[in-house]
Amino acid sequence: MTARAPRVGVVTFPGSLDDRDAVRAVRAMGGEAVPLWHGERDLGGADAVILPGGFSYGDYLRTGAIARFAPVMEELRAFADAGRPVVGICNGFQILCEASLLPGALIRNAGRRFVCRWVDVRVETSLSPLTAGLVAGEVLRVPVKHGEGQFVARGDELDRMEGDGLVVFRYCDPDGALGAEHNPNGSAAAIAGVRNEAGNVVGLMPHPEHAIDPDLGPTGGQPMFAALLQSALEPVASGIR
Amino acid sequence: MNEPLHRRLGLTDDELESISSTIGRDPNPTELAMYAAMWSEHCSYKSSKVHLRNLPTDGPRVLVGPGQDAGAIDVGDGVAVVFKMESHSHPSAVEPYQGAATGVGGIVRDIISMGARPIALLDPLRFGPLTDERNRWLFDGVVAGIGGYGNCIGVPTVGGEVHFGAPHSANPTINVMCLGIAPADRLVTAAKAPPAGSLLVLFGASTGRDGIGGVSVLASRTLEDDAAESRPSVQIGDPFAGKLLIEASMEMVERGLLEGLQDLGGAGLTCAASETATRAGLGAEVDLDTVPLRQDDLEPFEILTSESQERMLAVVVPERMDDVIEVCTRWGLGAAVIGRLLDEGGTLDVRHRGAEVARVPARSLADGAPVYSRPMSVPLERDDLLADDPTFTTMTTPVGDALLRMLSAPNVASKRWVWEQYDSIVQGGTVLGPGGDAALVRIEGTLKALALATDGKGRYGALDPYLGAAHAVAESARNVACTGATPLAITNCLNFGNPERPEVMWQFAESIRGIADACRAIETPVTGGNVSFYNESGDSAIWPTAVIGMVGLIHDYRLAVRHAFGDGTLVYVMGETFPELGGSEFAESVLGVVAGRPPALDLERERSLHSLLVDSARRDLIRSAHDCGDGGLAIALAESAMAGSTGFAVSIPGDLPSHVALFAESASRAVVTVDPARASELEDLAADLRVPFARIGETGGPRMVFDQIADVTVDEATATYEDAIPKLMSGERVLREAG
């Protein structure tokens, strides 16, 4: 452990909306936030990178489909390949799936409509930058807000993900029980977040950056950001791989 | 079609004569199109101006009053709050998704053009009954359109309201309010006069053939059966460009690159160029060949009146031009110099392909429209409606059944179906989101928060437009005060029928009188607003509906009061209940009548109640507060119980019949809860402020018990309340039969 604050990069694409919120969350939790620009091949010496929520490029083609070609993404891919922590929130999750840095895809909500509400998610594994140090089964309250958050994957891919423990969060009730009424978008197997095989890239539809400040609501995002700051300072390939 | 051109464009013969005498010759067709757009009711307020002058617009906090893109007030710490409400009813009636979406885009640009960053949206909406399939289509499309645009630009939709009434079937009423903040010394206002020689820079989207005649065809006439053919007059929104426009504009303002900024909305470039020149006290030349076009065969009048969305006009001194181009390039926005301000007698000179196509005084476009004092008369049916008061109708339905029926009435029922489709939390400032009395949005870097509420009382307005409008002001202020915030100022959207009908004009004048009286008493000046006339089809006009957007301020949002009940508190009704069921939700949804005299309004009492609520919050004295609005005391109690999943037991004092006591909508009341240990402190404060009060019971348990009247579980109430609108939207009937 070093004494310095972990540096967390937050990428702004044209149409990013929750970039400022992610920056605020990093700072509130004691990290140093590093604003990054989509058009530059530079991660500013970040220890970890967040792709924030929003509608990059308006999401007119397919969510995340254009953002994945942004110059910053080449750097990000190398960063991820080197085992550094990468987090995609909402649109950031969609971009990571489009970039094949995460398995599966996100399609229109089963209910057809945009949904903004507080949900409970259950931690499925501690092997991700957002859950390091958390215990499987723990339930965190965070908001979702998206029109295209239904996680889907081919049947065999879903089996492989489950077998390899790639599911990081599932929608649940406050006690951790699963049920269709707690799944806001009809995601397969109630999946709210997933990781890659190496365990350093994680994406989720809920917005932990909006669940930090107790004056605004529940604080289920705090342990996730604490885990991220912790992971950011850990040497590459520690334990997770 | 042998009608002369000016009439086809919506100008009268007298107006044509006035134009000719102003410019000293007959206008050419391009000039005629420019005047038709600028002198339309929508842009010129020609029927409403004489009445709007009666509104109170001054106050110690007012920085910018009516007449600019948006009003602004000072909330201390060097922060200006900029806000405005507008209607997009006509486009939404024709194409609900795009109509509502572009309404959001338009109001957001009004806020940007003052140099303020938009931080909140609210959407007051009115539709016909959801039992009708077309109304469901409109409701579904409008809500999706608001979400589709608002969610994509990263401005939280934190509140609003949804009402249903038969007169809104043909003409839904779609209003949208936006609020932004800026350093007070950086507001972009008309006070800053740009020098001659400044460049006019059009940036954002290119100009196409969409929205031609939006203000004159759609917004300034009644919709007839061929409304669908008006679709080309509806603009198409591009929220991604809207988001880029926000960021680029904010950056230019923050870096001090601009002398002026104006959005292109109604009447497009004609409006932006003529208003910019008029405010500068200068003339302007515009070269249409430099306007980036989507197709190159646009006629000059089309380029001049196109309402293509996501465009802004900046006024830039030549030395800053490189910086402006750099900002636009980085955000991927086109920018073009299309003209300049000239020191030449205030003439707007427009050129196209080397020829002059229009040469008119800029001020005659912006400010020269005629002002009409249209005839007024009291509607014939008024006395009959007022006399037919439902307050003394015999009640046959058991009160418990009536309560559940009220909870499932679409006007009362949960609007979660609506607001879950809106991102209410982006930007991280939402302390209280939709579903409460008022929304609270904090001012970053401070403990202050702005309280925002919208209210319109169309049913009251139909019976007594003066009272309807005054109640809207009072209720919106009460909603703000319930959170602990002090009401500061209002914007408004005045939704009415055809002003050429004397009855409508009378309703309008009465509504203005009501707003003026209430705003003077509550000391909330009017900083701006919008008038939407011609909301009628055939002989069916909407209810005269003055929608008020109230802005309040709380100094420490940690002391904000919610409406949810907690366990173990004492329940008080602050204010007095009178036998007043006229125009009530109960009368409409249980008795099936819209008649009677709306509740009286004593503005002194109203103010006292606000003082009580604000003082109680400041002292951290009360545990909850909730306005008694639609559905009266019973619904206020039930909503607080459902919000807190906590029941109550109350007994209703007085000798009114139980249904009157429970459902009367007497004004200036709130349900307040307090810890028993501090009850006497609350009572003393109420006595000091001369607010009548009654302790009616306590909170706790799973049931809502009205002693000897009704007993319903919170769970059953919640299911009824939450399921009503989703069921209607899936086509199922939910209304219980009356006893």
Please state the rounded mean pLDDT for residues B289-308: 93
Chain A, 105 to 124: residues with Cβ < 8 Å from chain B are: 113-117
- Under a CB-based contact definition with an 8 Å cutoff, are residues A30 and A5 in contact? yes
Tell me which chain A residue has its CA closest to the CA of residue B330.
A39
Confidence of residue B48 (pLDDT cuts 50, 70, 90): very high
B550-585 pLDDT tens trace = 999 999 999 999 999 999 999 999 999 999 999 999
Residue B189: phi, psi to the nearest 5? Answer: -125, 170
Residue, of B192 and B263, whose pLDDT is higher: B263
pLDDT for B11 beyond 50: yes
Nearest beta carbon to residue B420 from set A18, A57, A116: A116
Interchain contact, A14 vs B430, CB within 8 Å: no
Q: Which of A90, A146, A148, A172 is catalytic?
A: A90
Q: Is residue A158 part of a domain?
A: yes
End-to-end Cα, chain A, rounded Å = 19
Encoded tokens for B587? 């009368």
CB B573 within 8 A of CB B667: no
Interchain contact B414–A (C-beta under 8 A)? no
> Which residue reads 């009580």 in tokens?
B612
CB contact under 8 A, A116 and B244: no
The one catalytic residue in B6, B51, B88, B610 is: B88
* DSSP states along A109-170: -TTSS-EEEEEEEEE--S-STTTTT--TT-EEEEEEEESS-EEE--HHHHHHHHHHT-EEEE
**Which candidate in B143, B425, B730 is best for mutational testing of the A interface (most A CBs within 10 A)?**
B425
- The DSSP string of B378-413 is --TTHHHHHHS-GGGPPP-S-HHHHHHHHHHSTTTS
Q: A90-139, pLDDT tens digit by residue?
A: 999 999 999 999 999 999 999 999 999 999 999 999 999 999 999 999 99
Q: Can you give the C-alpha Rg of chain A in angstroms?
A: 16
CB-based contact (8 Å) between A40 and chain B? no
CA B587 to chain centre: 26
Binned at pLDDT 50, 70 and 90, residue B231 comes out as low
Shortest Cα–Cα distance, B106 to chain A (Å)? 18
Burial class (CB in 10 A: 0-12, 13-18, 19+), B185: exposed
A65 touches chain B (CB under 8 A): no
Number of structural domains in chain A? 1
| Angstrom distance (rounded) from CA B27 to CA B16 | 8
Domain around A125 = 7-233
> What angle do the packed helices B268-280 and B29-38 form, to 10 degrees?
80
The 3-class secondary structure across B538-592, one letter per residue, is CCEECCCEEEEEEEEEECCHHHCCCCCCCCCCEEEEECCCCCCCCCCHHHHHHHC
The owner of tokens 């008369």 is: B377
Per the CB < 8 Å rule, is B240 touching A60? yes
Closest CA in chain A for residue B424:
A116
- Total Cβ atoms within 10 A of residue B566: 16
Take residue A150 and report the two structure tokens written for it. Answer: 């239904």
Whether B421 contacts chain A with CB within 8 A: yes
Q: Answer whether residue B337 shows pLDDT above 50.
A: yes
Q: pLDDT tens digits, residue range B608-626? A: 999 999 999 999 999 999 9
At B414 the pLDDT is 98
Average pLDDT, chain B: 93
Higher-pLDDT residue of B68 and B321 is B321
Q: Is residue A57 part of a domain?
A: yes
Most distant pair of Cα atoms in chain A: their distance:
48
**Is residue A152 a part of any domain in this protein?**
yes
> Alpha-carbon distance B550 to B83, whole Å?
10
- What whole-number distance in Å separates Cα of residue A82 and Cα of residue A241? 12
- Say which DSSP state B706 is in: E
CA B293 to chain centre: 33
DSSP helix/strand/coil, B702 = coil
Which residues in chain A (141-180) have CB-CB distances under 8 A to chain B?
143, 145, 147
Dihedral, CA of residue B223, residue B227, residue B233 and residue B237, to nearest 10: 100
Point out the residue among A14, A60, A145 whose CB comes nearest to the CB of B423: A145
More confident residue, B387 or B28: B28
Distance from CA of B155 to the nearest CA of A (A): 9
Q: Does the distance separating the beta carbons of B428 and A20 come in below 8 Å?
A: yes
The Cα–Cα gap between A131 and A136 comes to: 9
Return the beta strands (E) in B592-679 as ranges. Answer: 624-627, 648-650, 670-674
- In which band, very low, low, confident or very high, does the pLDDT at A241 lie, cut at 50, 70 and 90? very low
Alpha carbon distances (Å) from B412 to A55, A77, B585, B639: 34, 52, 8, 10
Q: Check whether B120 has a pLDDT greater than 60.
A: yes
Q: Percent of chain A at pLDDT above 70?
A: 96
Closest residue in B to A118 (Cα–Cα): B420
Q: Is A75 among the residues known to form the active site?
A: no
CA dist A104 and A171 (Å) reads 17
Output the six-digit token pair for B596: 């009677």
CA–CA separation, B48 vs B370, rounded Å?
11
Percentage of chain A beyond pLDDT 90 is 90
User: What CATH number has the domain bearing residue A50?
Assistant: 3.40.50.880
CB A164 within 8 A of CB A197: yes
Q: Which residue has the tokens 């007030």?
A: B73
Cβ–Cβ of B558/A18 closer than 8 Å? no
Please tell me which residue in B42, B51, B610, B626 is annotated as part of the active site: B42
Q: Which residues pair with A8 in a beta bridge?
A: A33, A48
- pLDDT of B329 strictly over 70: yes
Percent of chain B whose pLDDT exceeds 70:
95
Are B154 and A18 inside 8 Å of each other by CB?
Answer: yes
Question: Of how many residues is chain A composed?
Answer: 241
Reduced to 3 states (helix: H, G, I; strand: E, B; else coil), residue B156 is: coil
Nearest to B99 by CA among B87, B110, B109: B87
Q: Give yes or no for residue A236 having a pLDDT over 70.
A: no
* Chain B residue nearest residue A113, CA to CA: B421
- Summarised one tens digit per residue, pLDDT across range B664-697 is 999 999 999 999 999 999 999 999 999 999 999 9
| Torsion (CA) B431, B433, B439, B444 in degrees, nearest 10 | 30
Q: Which residues of A touch B205 (CB under 8 A)?
A: none
- Burial (Cβ within 10 Å: 0-12, 13-18, ≥19) of residue A112: exposed
**Residues of B whose CB is below 8 A from A143:** 425
Provide the chain B residues 225-244 that lie in CB contact (below 8 A) with chain A. 238-241, 243-244
- The helix (H) or strand (E) run that includes residue B493 is strand B486-495
pLDDT of residue B215: 63
Q: Which residues of A touch B154 (CB under 8 A)?
A: 17-18, 54
pLDDT, tens digit, 9 for 90 and up, residues B375-407: 999 998 888 888 888 988 888 889 999 999 999
Q: Do B152 and A15 touch (CB under 8 A)?
A: yes
Q: What backbone phi and psi angles, to 5 degrees, belong to B570?
A: -95, 140
Matching residue, tokens 């009341």: B669
Beta bridge partners of residue B126, listed in sequence order = B163, B173
Q: Give the per-residue pLDDT at B221.
A: 65
Instruction: Find the CB nearest A114 among B147, B243, B427.
Output: B147
With an 8 Å Cβ cutoff, are A20 and B427 in contact?
A: yes
Question: What is the end-to-end Cα distance of chain B in Å, rounded?
Answer: 57
Does the distance separating the beta carbons of A117 and B420 come in below 8 Å?
yes
Range in A16-20, A55-59, B135-139, B322-326 the model is least confident about: A55-59
Q: Which of A17, A59, A215 sits opposite B426 (nearest CB)?
A: A17
Phi-psi map region of B592: left, alpha, beta (phi>0 left; psi -120 to 50 alpha): left
**pLDDT over threshold 90, residue B156:** yes
Which site among B420, B431, B562 would you substitute to test the A interface, given the most A Cβ atoms closer than 10 Å to its Cβ? B420
Task: For residue B42, indicate whether it is catalytic.
Answer: yes
Contacts of B723 in chain A (CB under 8 A): none
CB B554 within 8 A of CB B447: no
Distance CA B531, CA B517 (A): 19
Chain B hits for A14, CB-CB cut-off 8 Å, are 240, 243-244, 331-332
Asked if the model's pLDDT at residue B224 lies above 70, the reply is no
Closest CA to B177 of B530, B432, B545: B530
**CA A215 to CA B446: how far, in whole Å?**
13
Tens digits of residue pLDDT in B186-220 = 998 767 789 999 999 999 999 998 767 666 655 66
Question: Is the pLDDT reported for residue B230 higher than 90?
Answer: no
Q: What is the value of ipTM here, to two decimals? A: 0.95
pLDDT tens digit string along B74-99? 999 999 999 999 999 999 999 999 99
Per DSSP, the three-state class of B476 is: helix
Q: Sorting pLDDT into bands at 50, 70 and 90, what band is A238?
A: very low
- Is the CB of A145 less than 8 angstroms away from the CB of B421? no
Rounded Cα distance, B421 and B121, in Å: 13
Rounded (5°) CA angle B321-B324-B328: 140
How much is the average pLDDT of B448-461? 98
Instruction: Enter the tokens of residue B610.
Output: 């606000």
Using left for φ > 0, alpha for ψ between -120 and 50, and beta otherwise, residue A103 falls in beta
Chain B: residue whose CA lies nearest to A209: B428
Tokens in use for B62?
């007012």
CB pairs A-B closer than 8 Å: 85
Rama region for B199: left / alpha / beta (φ>0; ψ in -120 to 50; rest): beta
State the Cα–Cα distance between residues B369 and B36, nearest whole angstrom. 10
pLDDT of the residue at B343: 87
Secondary element (H or E) of residue B721: helix B714-729
Q: Spell out which residues of chain A touch residue B240, defining contact as CB-CB under 8 Å.
A: 14-15, 55, 57-60
Kindly determine whether residue A209 and residue B428, on different chains, have CB atoms separated by under 8 Å.
yes
Residue A2 lies in a domain: no
User: What's the CA dihedral at B497, B499, B504, B508 to 10 degrees?
Assistant: 100
Contact assessment for residue B113 and residue B263, using Cβ atoms and an 8 Å cutoff = yes
B557 lies within 8 A of chain A by CB: yes
